[in-house]
A and B are shown apart, each in its own frame.
Chain A
Amino acid sequence: MNKLKKENSFSISEHLKKYAVTYMFIAMSVFFIVVSGLDMNYVASQLLLRLNRNAFIVLALIIPIIAGMGINFAITIGAMAAQIGLLLTINWKVTGVPGILLAAAITLPLASFFGFIIGKLLNKMKGQETIGSMILGYFANGAYQLLFLFIFGNIIPLNDNVTIVGATGVQNTLNLTGDVGLYMAVDGIWHLSFEITLYIILALIAVYMLVRYFIKKGSTIKLACGILALAVVGGVFQIPVINDVFTGRYSGGREINIPVITWAVVGILCLFNAFIMKTRLGQKFRAVGQNRVVANAAGIDVNRTRIIAIMISTVLAGWGQIMFMQSDGIGTFQTYAAHEQVGLYAGAAILVGGASIDRATNFQALIGTFLFHSLFITAQSAASNLFGDSAVGEYFRAFLSYGVIAVALVIYAWRGAQQSKRGGLNLEAIRGEKAMKKL
Chain B
Amino acid sequence: MSQKVLLNSKEINIILRRLACQLVENHPNFKNTVIIGIQPRGVFLANRIIQLLEEEYSINNVEYGQLDITFYRDDFRRSDKLLEANKTKIDFIVEDKQVIFVDDVLYTGRSIRAALTAIQSFGRPNVIELLTLIDRRFSRHLPIQPDYNGRQVDAINDEQVKVHWKEVQGEDAVYLLPTSETKQQKTDSK
The answer on A and B forming one complex is no
A residues at B contact (CB < 8 Å): none
